[in-house]
Structure 1
Amino acid sequence: MVKLLGVLAPGLAAAALLVPHGAAAPADPSATGRPDPVRFATFNASLNRADEGRLITDLSTPDNPQAQAVAEIIQRTDPDVLLINEFDYDDAGTAAQLFADNYLSVSQNGADPITYPYHFTAPSNTGIPSGFDLNHDGSVGGPDDALGFGEFPGQYGMVVYSKYPIVESEIRTFQNFRWKDMPGALLPDDPETPEPGDWYSDDVLDIFPLSSKSHWDVPVNIRGKVVHLLASHPTPPVFDGAEDRNGTRNHDEIRFWADYVSPGHRSDYIYDDEGHTGGLEPGASFVIAGDLNSDPHDGDSIPGSAQQVLEHPRVNSTDTPDSDGAVEQSELQGGANLDHIGDPRYDTADFADTAPGNVRVDYVLPSKNLRIADSGVFWPVSDDPLFRLVGTYPFPSSDHRLVWTDVKVYGRNP
């Protein structure tokens, strides 16, 4: 029996939901041969709304055009384990259930329906009032003074869908981990004062979380082998000033996973929302997934931010997801794309052609003990019939593209 998992956020009494849909998990496809690869995917689907409860309203019927396009992209790529960023959170998990029932499990334009026996969602720091003037504009209140930018609690949240059982007893969330508790944290400086790292007062730092949404360790049992989906959505490194409070937070939100997958002293400082300490066990299999809002070569993030996980000794980065559509759009749109250092075929988001242009910000990064079989970005070229699902601005689905990686999962846990 799957149960509710209580994860309380400051000022927001809400439960994390782990919900079965009633379908069986995929079986081993062959009794004698090796199992098929497992597809992990991340998709910033822009299923966020300007008003609290609006997403539930939009998903209550099966005819919302944007949700239909998002669902069709998911059906066309058919991930086994999927993280969706920018999916508004509600206490009862109603939106997540409605999207599964009214969109994913219904054929979109002839695509095969997709059923996820399990999904997980939990509170987000977005929109939770801090009670402080975080942006130093002389007033307290509004989305920029929330623990994570948002008009209401849960805006821009996350949800995980899985065809395989989620190990509920081992889920860890890090919504309340305080930024100041990270050793060597890049706390932002007030450029008007000589003291380092003093943009936020001690009173602010006593309550201010590292995560702008949350960080989740969601273990998935794949044919007897547990793979930890490490899900997050760091803040964009922009929309701030000379203090770079969002750039430094973005850097450290990414660093959190680099430390978490490093056993021993490097991760000893970490504590989860239940008070348990330490990082991932040595030898554990994992997949880091999400919109990290950091391109390794271009854009506005602090140099080296994405490299913290891309070049981590435990991360398998031998295969970079790519697409022909990204190359085509970079050439057609020009602008800032012409000055980029990074290869456009790895781009995962279609942003403004001025700055930053199209960039790689969405990642699916397996551990080195998971062999990569294939990968890709759902970004068709303009003469492909499926280009209608991504399009150009204003986008029919999202300004981000779904990114997937197939990994071979062998063996069982000892």
Structure 2
Amino acid sequence: MGFPACQPLHARHRHGPRRRHDPRTPRDRAKSAGLGLLAGLILALPAQADIKLATWDSGMSQRGPGLLLHRLTRQDGPEIEASLQVIEALDADILLLTDIDWDLRSQTLNALNARLKTPYPHVLALKPNTGIPSGLDLNHDGALAGPRDALAYGLFPGQSGMALLSRLPIGQPESFTDLLWRDLPGANLPPDLTEEEAALLPLSTSGHYVIPIDLGDKTLTLLAYAATPPVFDGPEDRNGRRNADETALWSRLLDGSLGTPPQAPFVVIGKPNLDPYDGDGIPAPILALMAQLQDPEPRGLAPPDGGNGDPALDTSRLKSGEGLRVDMILPSRDIEVTGAGVMWPAPNDPLTPLLEAASPHRPVWVTIAE
């Protein structure tokens, strides 16, 4: 698969990666042999840098091609304006947006970036499988067209894709987005999948991308994805199985059964679309992946909902009122995590109405030492 070039915007920024305050004051005391006096000299040591990673299901995807671009350029829609303000308030060094429409020339992403008060110097639009016609009756309803007969659910090609915005240079990504579902080692295929369908249907919904980020003296690798919801199907549990296998792909990559594992440091980032302890779906793959990596357990101020999981970890609220943790950042074990959180403020916080207008999801962030 080809990728559009990462597009630099030559702009000055308020800051780069954050600097972590070090409360220690190093001193070098020199003795003067002639005078026998002590002199203290404070050495100015460079502060250790923090890099803020974030992911957010922005809720910006529209119901037709070009509509999001139109709304961004015409400044049409309070929810779009709210999303832009949330992105600015999040102030991440590396931000993976999910549920944002993709187009071939990255016009939508460029328009979004241009609307920010401080645009990101590096952006990358990531093509999804959503809305691409399969030519087959994948949902077995007797018709050969419609969003459920696409390679992944979508009203049009490129609906609900992913985009990366970064203050650090983005390298050339690799993709597992074309991997056939049947070719995943240990694939949990639905029983009604025909041979013809299996020879065509990819595993990925919004994509699986391995993206290098240049930190100067080393590379941080992002394993980015957004899985299908594990619901809206029948007893064959096609979506539930696909959702689980979309997360299982990363475990297969890390254990070497799907090619060469990424070199550390790396971070799994995006939307598993599955709560490990609440809601529908098959939790075993996400629990296995969490056990392979670090779970910083980002917390916000989500209200209690009566679920099994800790509500402070929730990143989304369903219309039923149930809270779910469906967006995650999981660093490799060698990474020093310096902070983590969910942008879920108190009800009286000025950000709360913006978040509620933009999306049912809340941004998740993790800071790591450079």
Tell me if both proteins adopt one fold, taking TM over 0.5 as the criterion.
yes
Q: Which amino acid aligns with 1:186?
A: N
The equivalent of 1:359 in structure 2 is 324
Q: Secondary structure at the match of 1:97?
A: helix
Task: Give the alignment partner of residue 181 of structure 1, picking from 176, 180, 183.
Answer: 183
Percent identity for Structure 1 against Structure 2: 35
The equivalent of 1:210 in structure 2 is 203
**1:208-256 per-position Cα deviation (integer Å, ceiling 9, x unaligned):** 1010121111110123221111110010000000000000011110011
The equivalent of 2:350 in structure 1 is 385
Task: Give the alignment partner of residue 250 of structure 1, picking from 243, 259, 272.
Answer: 243
**1:304-335 per-position Cα deviation (integer Å, ceiling 9, x unaligned):** 232122111xx111x200111x12xx4xxxxx
**1:181-221 per-position Cα deviation (integer Å, ceiling 9, x unaligned):** 112100011xxxxxxxxx11111111110101211111101
In structure 1, distance between residues paired with 2:4 and 2:281 = 31
In structure 2, distance between residues paired with 1:251 and 1:27 = 34
Task: Give the alignment partner of residue 164 of structure 1, picking from 161, 165, 168.
Answer: 168
Q: Mapping of 1:71-86 within 5 angstroms?
A: 71-86=84-99
Which structure has the larger Rg? Answer: 2
The equivalent of 1:232 in structure 2 is 225
- Matched-pair contact (CA < 8 Å) for 2:18–2:52: no
The equivalent of 1:267 in structure 2 is 258
The equivalent of 1:222 in structure 2 is 215
Root-mean-square deviation (CA, aligned residues, Å) is: 1.8
Q: Which amino acid aligns with 1:348?
A: T
- Matched-pair contact (CA < 8 Å) for 1:254–1:308: no
In structure 1, distance between residues paired with 2:87 and 2:127 = 23
Q: Which amino acid aligns with 2:326?
A: V
Q: CA deviation at 1:27?
A: 7.2
Q: Which amino acid aligns with 1:180?
A: R
Q: Which ranges in structure 2 are unaligned for 5 or more consecutive residues?
A: 21-43
The equivalent of 1:280 in structure 2 is 262
The equivalent of 2:41 in structure 1 is none
Task: Give the alignment partner of residue 316 of structure 2, picking from 342, 345, 349.
Answer: 349
**1:59-86 per-position Cα deviation (integer Å, ceiling 9, x unaligned):** 1134542222112112112100000000
Q: Which amino acid aligns with 2:221?
A: H
The equivalent of 1:298 in structure 2 is 278
The equivalent of 1:316 in structure 2 is 294
More strand by percentage: 2
The equivalent of 2:9 in structure 1 is 21
The equivalent of 1:50 in structure 2 is 63
In structure 1, distance between residues paired with 2:350 and 2:207 = 36
- Matched-pair contact (CA < 8 Å) for 2:51–2:369: yes
Q: Does 1:117 align with 2:102?
A: no
**1:117-171 per-position Cα deviation (integer Å, ceiling 9, x unaligned):** 1011132100001111111112111000100100000000110000001123xx1
Q: Secondary structure at the match of 1:250?
A: helix
Q: Secondary structure at the match of 1:322?
A: coil
In structure 1, distance between residues paired with 2:369 and 2:17 = 15
Q: Which amino acid aligns with 1:92?
A: R
The equivalent of 1:370 in structure 2 is 335
- Matched-pair contact (CA < 8 Å) for 1:254–1:305: yes
Q: Which amino acid aligns with 1:252?
A: D
The equivalent of 2:367 in structure 1 is 406
Q: Secondary structure at the match of 1:18?
A: coil
Q: Which amino acid aligns with 2:337?
A: I
Q: Which ranges in structure 1 are unaligned for 5 or more consecutive residues?
A: 1-6, 9-14, 106-113, 190-198, 269-277, 331-336, 410-414
Q: CA deviation at 1:347?
A: 0.4
Superposition TM-score, scaled by structure 2 size: 0.89
- Matched-pair contact (CA < 8 Å) for 2:17–2:52: no
In structure 1, distance between residues paired with 2:17 and 2:163 = 24
Q: CA deviation at 1:17?
A: 3.9
In structure 1, distance between residues paired with 2:271 and 2:147 = 20
**1:85-110 per-position Cα deviation (integer Å, ceiling 9, x unaligned):** 000000010000000102x22xxxxx
